[in-house]
Amino acid sequence: MMKTNKKTLISQQIIEDACEWAIMHGVAFRQADNTARHCPFSIAPMTIEREVYAHLRRVVPLLTKLISNVSEDHQFLQSSLSDMAKADPFFGRLMSLHHQIHGNADHRYDPARQPLLLMRTDFMDDRQYGAKVIEFNGIAAGMAPFGQRATEFHAFMQRQWPETYQSWLEDTSAIPAENEGLTQLANGIVTAATQIKADFNEQGTPVFLMVVQKHEDNVYDQHLLEVALQQQGLRTVRRTFEQLSAQLSTGANQRLMLEGVGAVDVVYLRAGYQYSDYCAPELNEAVCCYTLSQMRVFIEQHHIALNATIGQQLATSKTMQMLLTMMPAQDYIRWGLTLEEAQLVKSVLAEMKPITAATIDWFNTEATQTEWVLKNQGEGGGHCVFGDDISQTLAQLTEAEYDAWALMQRLYPHEREVPTIAVRDAQVSVVNDLVSEIGLFTAYFNGEPVTEFDGYAGYLIRSKPASENEGGIHSGKGILDSLVLID
């Protein structure tokens, strides 16, 4: 039942306290003028049934094990994604890079780079069908630090402003769900870095290289991870692809060397999921994208821990998600899952359909159009088409473009039963129809879990009004949130 005795505003002192806590703890975006703006956030967390949360905790390491093994099955990636690569120029480039690295060799593990899969799997808890996967994020899967900080922020609110916190909570008996997203991701990276260092029988400080976008505004989330790594004895450096094109070289025994720094142990890509990351017009080359994307090939030829490999990026594409969804559970056995594990994975995959002339005809004549969303291969916000726009978009596609798109069952998550206070730019608004997206992080190195929780590494909750399609924190109407559990 909707509570009716709500105050529509909370005191200015509480808002200032909350916003200052966020800035002080790095929960912010950098502005163009180098000032910081706090991330939008909710005053109190969302509620989820303990059983649903436990189910997701059980299944997400299995999803990661599956994706990890698919990402190293190079022949399967080449054969199953070839049509999509022809339809999507960016993935066409990735596939050519992948072929350059792996050729037709029939092997599962590359002898040079060691795959470090730092993945975020995004779910929505559908009112009718339960929790289902929206997408896999295998490259630039960030915001684990913000996820942990959101949980810590709500703990701060519960201690400092208990009456306000309780009054905006759905169920006052709910218990916060622990969240060590930052800590566990850092632990996984340290484990990988230490192993690579040991492989070379070297002493000294391991080096972590983060590949970043130019003019990045999401630097604080990235720096929180770097600080956690520094506290565990790693040296962290940041470079763009353009900088790396002039600074990387090969040392003895396929050691990756960075000018002015020395040997590199871990490479973590927070860039590389869109064409613009490889664009540097000042290089004055006809195909600067070719030059910079070749850095991916160069990096993979070295003995480092790497996230994301091109195989991981391909294995977490929307088309691969569709292909895995359409397969019978027993097909997953080839990638190391038991039938029971495979069926658990299948339980969270939402129906997807390839775009064909027959699918388009079915959609226009028979489908309940509000039950579907049209997706291309793009990462981040702005790549989904909803409602009446779907038929229009399908009509504009050429047949050559069909394989870059897919229809997916649209998910309608539970709306929060009580209004919520959202704080954006230090301004308060009351949201009556908040819904949440649940991102679960995992960390695997060389196909094995590297966290204290069998590969699980914490969560990120992004909430938005149900009436809004774009739920990003950066762009769109999303706000940072956390989880509390009820029985």
Q: ∠320-479-47 over CA atoms, to 5°? A: 85
- The DSSP line for 439-484 is EEEEEEETTEE-STBTTEEEEEEEEEETT-S---SSSSS-EEE-EE
Compute mean pLDDT per 10 residues along the chain, 487 residues long, and list them. 50 96 96 93 95 96 98 96 94 93 63 92 94 95 96 98 94 96 98 97 96 92 98 97 95 97 98 85 62 91 97 97 97 98 97 96 94 87 84 94 95 91 93 94 97 97 86 76 96
**Burial class of residue 3 (count of CB atoms within 10 Å of its CB; 0-12, 13-18, 19+):** exposed
Please give the pLDDT value at position 9: 72
Tokens of 265: 């142990």
- As a whole number of angstroms, the distance between CA 24 and CA 447 comes to 37
Q: Diameter of the chain by CA atoms?
A: 70
Q: Quote the pLDDT of residue 358.
A: 95
DSSP code for 368:
-
pTM: 0.94
- Helix (H/G/I), strand (E/B), else coil: 465: strand
What letter represents residue 248's amino acid?
A: L
Contact 234, 228 (CB under 8 A): no
Q: Residue 187: what residue type?
A: N
- Residue 41 pLDDT: 97
Count the alpha carbons within 13 Å of 304 in the hemisphere toward its beta carbon. 29
Name the phi and psi angles at 161, rounded to 5.
-130, 60
- Which residue(s) pair with 352 in the sheet? 408
